[in-house]
Amino acid sequence: MKTVLIGYMGSGKSSVGKKLAEILKIPFKDIDTEIEKHEGISISEIFREKGEIYFRTLESKILKKLLSQSESFVLATGGGTPCYGENMALMAGKEDVNTVYLKTPLAILTSRLFLEKDKRPLLAHLKTTEELNDFIRKHLFERIYYYNQSKYVVDNKAENIDETVEEIVLKLF
């Protein structure tokens, strides 16, 4: 069984995913890391040197490849993964995949991402917290349609990731 974590940038997909994989004793995979490994450069460099369309095409290809494997794992997707091409339909349509949306409040996303925005090509140009907050609010509004197609929705308000992991485990089993 594969557990695929979905949610906006900064929603904790990687940290929750690592912990969840540890508890379930299965490997943890991160789609951004797989993309970086494939290209040998960082996500920011891919966006800068090859463009977003190239990135999205590769993201879909790598997602398909990961989901075609028979082994169990926890996968952290990128914030945009479910929102392009057939990616969400692919994830939602597989019997051996549980999709979990980590629903995180806007204020938490804004404060986390303000500290990390330089690593995110879609956010790096935003200067103030207000600008960032405004961008995320609108972006989230566009993306929520895809996120909500997940099998499970977990409210990810807690600063303590253990609570979120526990809630996911309770939903899965």
Q: How many CA atoms lie within 13 A of 21 on its CB side?
A: 21
122 lines the binding site for ligand S3P (CB under 6 A): yes
Instruction: Using the rule CB under 6 A, give the single segment among 91-99, 114-122, 126-134, 150-158 that binds ligand S3P.
Output: 114-122
- Rounded to a whole number of angstroms, the distance between the first and last alpha carbons of the chain is 12
| Contacts of ligand S3P in 8-47 (CB under 6 A) | 9, 13, 32, 43
85 lines the binding site for ligand S3P (CB under 6 A): no
Instruction: Using the rule CB under 6 A, give the single segment among 77-85, 103-111, 126-134, 149-157 that binds ligand S3P.
Output: 77-85
Q: How far is the CB of 70 from ligand S3P (least distance, A)?
A: 25
Instruction: Using the rule CB under 6 A, give the single segment among 61-69, 73-81, 129-137, 151-159 that binds ligand S3P.
Output: 73-81
167 lines the binding site for ligand S3P (CB under 6 A): no
**Residues in Cβ contact with 65 at an 8 Å cutoff, skipping those fewer than 6 apart:** none
How would you classify the pairing of strands 97-103 and 28-30? unpaired
Nearest residue to 123 (alpha-carbon basis) of 57, 84, 79, 77: 79
Nearest residue to 11 (alpha-carbon basis) of 152, 141, 106: 106
